[in-house]
Amino acid sequence: MIKHIVFFGLADNAEGKSKAENAQIIKSGLENLIHLIPEIKKNRSRYQLPKCTKNKL
């Protein structure tokens, strides 16, 4: 079994959409792969927006 863990860094706004909207578009696209690639048995995709957008040093 092969597992992949993928992280995306999203801009606050891109393509005229918010970070949350773009995250949902990516999530939907990943979930639709199960219909296009027969070898994919299950897909668990989720997104979580960070609580804080500024780095504290």
Q: Where are the domains of the chain?
A: 16-45
What pLDDT shows up at residue 57?
A: 47
Q: Rounded distance, CA 23 to CA 4, Å?
A: 18
Query: What does the block give as tokens for 23?
Result: 């995250």
Report the SS3 class of residue 47.
coil
pLDDT tens for 1-56 read 677 777 888 899 999 999 989 989 988 998 898 899 888 877 777 766 666 555 55
Q: How far apart are CA 11 and CA 56, in angstroms?
A: 18
pTM, whole model, 2 decimals? Answer: 0.66
